[in-house]
Amino acid sequence: MATPQIHVRSISLPTSLHPTNVEVELQKLNPAFPKVVPISSEAIQSGLVNLAELYNSVEELTRSSSHHQDDAKSMEDSLIDGSIELLDSCSSIRELFQMIKENVQSLQSAFRRKGLDSGIQSDVATSISLPTSLHPSNVEVELQKLKSAFPKAVSILSSEAIQSGLVSLAELYNSVEELTRSSSHHLHAKSMEDSLIDGSIELLDSCSSIKELFQMIKENVQTLQSAFRRKGLDSSIQLDVATYVNFRKKMNKCVAKTLKTLKNLEQHKNIGSNDQIDNFVRVLREVSGITIAIFKGVLGFLSCRTTTKTGGWNLVSKVMVTKSVASDVVNEVGSVDFALNCFQVKMRRNCGEDVDLQMVQKGLQSLDSRIEGFERELERLFRQLVQTRVTLLNTLAHC
């Protein structure tokens, strides 16, 4: 009767108690996950199963007393910290799957309830807004896309490009916030304190100032629109136009002041840079850099200046009618400035009959619509900047 008991015990022993056995299992996994070739979802799922079995073998190997004395010291620095980061990564991936599961199920429910009703668009937009970047390298990919869209060599950017940049910037900060939340980066919080925390409040202040500028120009544009609707080409409209033109001069001074603040912030950021900083901190610095570049682009949109000479109305017509010329010469702000300057010249010469009032009103409407789009994206970005700063401060508080 003793023999069967010995046999039962013999087959319950772990079969991988030597590094070479674990290496065999490891080699089985390596060919299944080549670095270049795309992998099917079935292969990935199978790989997770095999990976769990591999870690089970590693655990059994670690438990064997023959390795405790010799290898424990060497494991301390090179593996323990790494295992924590792998745990954090696994936890983040699980959270992503949980999030996408919830959103997929919500979207399924929405399609069942709404079908192809126009209201389904908001559900689709929500489902595609999940954060997908929880590692510096992923944030860097998004960062490079923005840098390509805002090259330093190009001084003039279209309104559409700048507005699109604000959208992408808000998404980038959302990814940065998720990255900051991951506990594996808490150890780097001290290095963030001086170089980034102070800068984040200055970026918030700049964003707030830009929002105020857009609010101011919006109010003045709408006031002028109302005046044109009420007065048409009556001589009294000249006072309203002059009020707007004077406002634009004051506004350009405010823009110059905000640009100076951004320039100082940019110089401070460059002085503090070095090759020894943590990768996470370096990424955050680069995010601050592209934020400054985009803010400069937004301010450039607001400060677009034009000059007019006597008889310049034909050029205004070309600028406002020809899309290709408009995109190369002036944006919506510049088009209105140019048109109103020429308008003043014509009215002073009693040549009001030569003024195309409909074109002026169309330019004001186009500017009003563009301002509305900028305001929407700036508000979204401002909220994300606030949230990211709160996350950075919380990280510091718990480090």
Tokens standing for residue 232: 């048409």
> Residue 35, Cβ neighbours under 10 Å: how many?
5
Whether 298 and 162 have beta carbons less than 8 Å apart is answered as: yes
| DSSP one-letter code for 277 | S
Q: Give burial (CB, 10 Å; 0-12/13-18/19+) of 41.
A: exposed
pTM for the whole structure = 0.61
Alpha carbons 182 and 179: distance in angstroms, whole number: 6
Among 297, 268, 265, 270, which Cα is nearest to 282's?
Answer: 270
102 phi and psi angles, rounded to 5 deg: -60, -40
SS3 of residue 32 by DSSP: helix
Residues 321-377 have pLDDT tens digits of: 333 334 444 789 999 999 998 888 888 887 767 678 889 999 999 999 999 999 999
Query: For residue 375, how far is the Cα from the chain centroid?
Result: 16
Any alpha helices (H) in 182-312, and if so which ranges?
189-192, 198-231, 237-271, 279-302
Distance of CA 6 to the CA centre of its chain: 64
Q: Output the tens digit of pLDDT for each of the chain's 399 residues.
A: 444 444 433 344 444 456 667 677 777 766 666 655 567 788 788 778 878 877 877 777 777 655 555 555 555 555 665 666 677 677 667 767 876 777 777 777 777 776 776 665 655 555 554 444 445 667 888 888 888 887 765 556 789 999 999 999 999 998 888 887 774 555 455 555 565 677 788 999 999 999 999 999 999 999 999 999 999 888 899 999 999 999 999 999 999 999 999 998 888 766 555 555 567 778 888 899 999 999 999 999 998 754 444 444 344 444 443 333 344 447 899 999 999 988 888 888 877 676 788 899 999 999 999 999 999 999 999 999 999 888 888 777 766
